[in-house]
Structures are given as structure tokens and as C-alpha cells.
Amino acid sequence: MTFSIVARSADGTSWGVAVASKFLAAGSAVPAAVAGIGAIATQALANVSYKAQALALLDEGATASVALQRLIDDDEGRDQRQVGIVDLDGLAATYTGAACLDWAGGETGEGVAIQGNILTGPEVVAAMRASWDEGDPAAPLAERLLAALRAGDEAGGDRRGRESAALLVVTEGGGIGGFDDVQVDLRVDHHDDPVTELEKLLAIHGTYFPDVPLDERVPDTPELMAELDSRARSLGLPGLMEWMGQHNLEGYGGPDWTARTVVDRLRAATPEWRSG
């Protein structure tokens, strides 16, 4: 009832899962990932306990294939399961039980496992693999995963129709404020065109939590921070952080830099300062 892609970024710093299904809130059941350990998708007649079990096995040093074998060896319902796993080193494994509904199958490559069941045909997995293989390895993992999901959806996807989609990416320190590793966690739980909605959400996410290129970073010098704080106060706010909070711009800042977007936006918001 689902098609998914599990992958590690080419630079070995991020792991993630993208999934779509004619099933309510597939993102709540299918994906799991931990930075520095790996990622998993569990689907078909999903055994959601696979997620914690697989990540624990990977954390103990098991490879993706060893962890997968342990999961299915211990599960009497293995014939109805489908799983994809990518480990710390980018080794990948996929499994489709003999009783999964047609079309069902999967394939693996370097750093990627792709699988689906109740699909229109093998062309869905093939399109996802082609998208992954032809994508820019340097592109953000979230974008590559979503592009592959789009390719699978356009190739036919779930033969029963569309309902939900989700995207999960983890990177060490990649969460809000660096307090956890969840870089992207977006879900469309019930929609006629969930992959398109997920693309919209990722675009919005990028405006709030950008991966700011080095050439767009501005050093947080005392002079610049004093200027920005003064500009925010000229707008009647207590200060810079209040302004950033009101505009959901916390993701643009860091301990040693801010982004050109923040500087330009705040300067534009205070026209009386334009000569500065």
C-alpha cells in the first residue's frame, strides 16, 4: 500500500526516508531515522516495532542486511512485511515478503533502498531509482528524496490512489537550535495530491530553516548586531530577537553568524535607516 525511499546523503552526514501511500498518515507508521545510525521504512502489513528494533541493531554495529535478517527471522508475519534499511556506512537492504500484494518489490544501490507494494507496476520503483541515480549527489538529501518520491508518483505510484506522504531527514545537530538531529519532519496525512503538498511544505520549511550558503552568511560583529537590534527597536519591538521570533526567523541565526536575508529584511522594514 506504499512506496518509499530510504537513503544516506553522499557526504555521509544525513539519513532520511520519503514515503507516499493510499493510507492515512503513512508518515506516522513507516519512517524512522537516527543521525549517525541509519534509517528504516517499514510497510505493507507494517510491523512498527521494526523501527526501534532496527535502529537498536544498527546502533550495536549491525549492517543493514544483518539488521534486516534479524527482523524477519524473529517475525512470524514476515511474509506480509516490506522493509528498507540504510545503515551508518550507506549499506542498504530491502525485503519484500512473499505475501505482499502485487505489484510488490524493491531494489538497492549505494546508499539507497527503494521499495513498494500494491503499486501500478515495477516502473514505480524503477523511476524512483532513476531519479536517485541521476540526481545531484551534492543536493540536500530532503530534495533528492522528494524528487524520487515525485518520480514514483508520476510513474503510477500506489495503484489504489493517493492519500498521504511524508519526509524525514536527520543530521547531527540539524534540528531547531541544534538541540536535536531532526532536520526535516514533514507530513501530509490526508490529501488528494499529497506529494505536491509535501513539496509545498518543504519549500516553506526552507524559508524558515534554510541551509544558508557560506557566501550568504554575515559575521555577527558587535557593530552589526547593535545596528540590527536598534532597527528592531525603532519598529517598537523590545529588540532583534523579538523581531526574529515574530517573523519565525530563528532558523537563520547561529552563534557566529546571521544570514544576509535577515539583515536585508530588517533594513527594508526600517526605511528611515535606508541610508545606513
Look at residue 152 and tell me whether its pLDDT is greater than 50. Answer: yes
Where residue 191 sits, what CATH number does that domain have?
3.60.20.10
Where is average pLDDT lowest: 49-53, 85-89, 245-249?
Answer: 245-249
pLDDT at 67 over 90: yes
Of 40, 41, 39, 33, the C-alpha closest to 1 is 41
Cβ-based neighbours of 118, under 8 Å, separated by 6 or more: 1, 2, 22, 101, 102, 103, 104, 158, 159, 160
Q: Number of folded domains in the chain?
A: 2
Query: What does each C-alpha distance from 6 to 104, 107, 114, 146, 235 come to in angstroms?
Result: 16, 11, 6, 11, 46
Position of cell 507508521? 29
Q: What is the pLDDT of residue 259?
A: 78
Q: Are residues 61 and 105 in the same domain?
A: yes
| C-alpha triplet 123, 126, 131: angle, nearest 5° | 125
Dump pLDDT digits (tens) for 194-237. 999 999 999 999 888 777 777 778 888 889 889 989 998 998 88
Is there a single domain that holds both residue 235 and residue 120? no
Q: Distance of alpha carbon 91 from its chain centroid, rounded?
A: 18
Domain match, 182 and 253 both: no
Residue that terminates a domain, selected from 153, 182, 208: 208
- Section 171-192 average pLDDT: 92
Kindly state whether residues 109 and 66 are assigned to the same domain.
yes
Confidence of residue 4 (pLDDT cuts 50, 70, 90): very high
Among the candidates 183, 208, 233, a domain finishes at: 208
Residue 254 is classified by DSSP as: -
Domain-terminating residue out of 176, 208, 240: 208
What is the extent of the structural domain holding 244?
A: 215-273
Residue 261's pLDDT is what?
79
